[in-house]
Structure 1
Amino acid sequence: MNGVLGEGAIPHERIARLPQDKRARLVQRLRSQTEDGHGVDRWFVRYSAVDRPAVRLFCFPYAGGGGSAFRGWSEGLPAGVDVWAAQLPGRESRVTEPALRRLDPLIETLHEAILPKLDLPYAFFGHSMGALVAFELTRRLRRAGAPLPSRLLLGAFRAPQLPNPHIRIHHLPDEVLKTVLGKEGTPRQVLESEELMRALLPTLRADLEICDTYRYREEPPLTMPMSVFGGHQDVRVSRGDLDMWRTQANGPFRLVMLPSSHFFLHSSQDLLLAELSRELGSAPRPAEGERRHD
């Protein structure tokens, strides 16, 4: 699996807990706009404006997730970090657009969309499927001779050269897919909401198809610092899967294990943002090598 609709996901978990009438109104509002967005364009959204940004942090969500997964991150990061969350087709403010089903066209479109925003130093963070997107977008920018991220921050996805250990599930019937999602940790309130599942399943299937059909292509390792984050209790992505990212790094590499499961960006958000602050802010950097939270 690739990090879909997990415990604490935003806004899915919050929507599922609302009374039916309020839930319907909120789903409709998500169809028309991203809540409280500042500096919104089709592909990236800011939830908090930064007056004098020193670095832009572009964030890419897990399968089925939208930009709101990163709502509130600016408050947990140094003042000069300008957070931009990727808003992919088929979700939230773009829910009426068909989701893409292959990684290559997604990367090509993101490449064109992000180029005008690379006038400042920047970094990438991606969680689960988002880590794969961030990695391949970085390689696409390198092939184009564009400015590259100063840091690559990747979470909860196996090293891309490793084979996919999971069965393909994007084509499964709805009820079978929901059963699989339940076993993988998707909250029952989400699965039992027909309204939510009707809105989410097409996009979720498309994202799963992106991961199921991904084929790694050999290129030289990346030279910017790379930090990879994982959860000690993640049953989907092992520490060994994460450590193999080392072969993609021809620069400083860190493996950071957090005391949580696959969706540590929600359940251990404070710890993750503290680590990202060390990477992006003025605080002293940790020693090279692995930093662990036991």
Structure 2
Amino acid sequence: MRAAEASSGLLHVPNPLPDAPLRLIGVPYAGGGASVFTGWHTGLPDIELAAVRLPGRESRFSDPPHTRMGPLVADLADGIAAAADRPYALFGHSMGARVVFEVARRLRTLKGPQPRYLFVSGCRAPHLPLRPPTGHLTDAEFVQELRELGGAPPEFFAEPELVELLLPMLRADFAVLESYDYTAAAPLDIPVRAFCGDADPHVSPAQTAAWSEHTSSRFGLTRLAGGHFYLGEQRAALLSTIRDDLLHRPGAPTPGP
């Protein structure tokens, strides 16, 4: 994948498939990295998976993390456009969902290569308000907020030195979300499928269904068992739905709740 390799390490391809007709590009949630998508390629045997490496973590730990949505979207859109050597789709969970939505809108404005499909997960529709801001919280209060969200295992919080090391990156990601200022524009003309956990305390099915307002093409809503971070336990069902959508399989789920 020479084009992606030239994009400053932005995309990690765990299992290159040079003959695959499609590529799925995944953007992680706040605090997450390319490792969020570990193992996903096994559920997408005929689709190449590319996981986004955001600055401030993993192999890009020394790169300053973004703290504003605009620059993050601009950088990611440029990198994806440079790597678009075949049709592609975008997937984002939580923060990543708003990022991929804005990336698609930016590429449309720039007349760049548009994604074939947009998959958004664990995120309220972009015109709806976010959770209360966290920028005013002390470190202890912010860490407690992370605990309640459930995105990190208990072992993470048992390592105070690790928490302290990663805290600037985590705060930066939350600042990205809190800097987001939705601007109304014409709906995208690409299909959108929105996923939500049926027990997610932060994002309701109705808030997920509201993504339908942002496409003039097909829309589907899929509810999977689990909370906000249902991705691990429901990976097989999630990837099966994505694969069916991308390959236009006759048995693909009917759009709707």
Q: Number of aligned pairs?
A: 252
Given candidates 77, 96, 104, the residue that maps to 2:70 is 104
CA distance in 1 between counterparts of 2:191 and 2:250 reads: 15
Question: Is the CA contact (8 Å cut-off) linking 1:78 and 1:281 kept in structure 2?
Answer: no
1:136 Cα deviation after fit: 0.1
AA aligned opposite 2:137: L
Alignment of 1:60-99 (within 5 A): 60-79=27-46, 81-99=47-65
1:119 Cα deviation after fit: 2.4
TM-score when normalising by structure 2: 0.93
Tell me which residue corresponds to 1:178: 143
Question: Is the CA contact (8 Å cut-off) linking 1:156 and 1:231 kept in structure 2?
Answer: yes
SS in 2 for 1:228: strand
1:282 Cα deviation after fit: 5.8
1:230 Cα deviation after fit: 0.3
AA aligned opposite 1:76: G
- Where does structure 1 differ by over 6 angstroms across 4 or more consecutive aligned residues? none
Task: Find out whether 1:42 has 2:9 as its counterpart.
Answer: yes
Given candidates 92, 96, 107, the residue that maps to 1:126 is 92
1:112 Cα deviation after fit: 1.5
CA distance in 2 between counterparts of 1:287 and 1:99 reads: 37
1:285 Cα deviation after fit: 4.8
CA distance in 1 between counterparts of 2:79 and 2:175 reads: 22
1:220 Cα deviation after fit: 0.1
Q: Higher relative contact order at CA 8 Å, sep ≥6: structure 1 or structure 2?
A: 1
Question: Is the CA contact (8 Å cut-off) linking 2:16 and 2:48 kept in structure 1?
Answer: yes
Tell me which residue corresponds to 2:132: 167
Tell me which residue corresponds to 1:238: 204
Task: Find out whether 1:274 has 2:233 as its counterpart.
Answer: no
CA distance in 2 between counterparts of 1:44 and 1:96 reads: 17
Question: Is the CA contact (8 Å cut-off) linking 2:195 and 2:224 kept in structure 1?
Answer: yes
Deviations 1:87-134 (A, max 9, x none): 010010011111010010111111221112112111000011000110
AA aligned opposite 2:42: E
> Structure 2: where are the runs of 5+ without partners?
none
CA RMSD in angstroms, aligned pairs only: 1.6
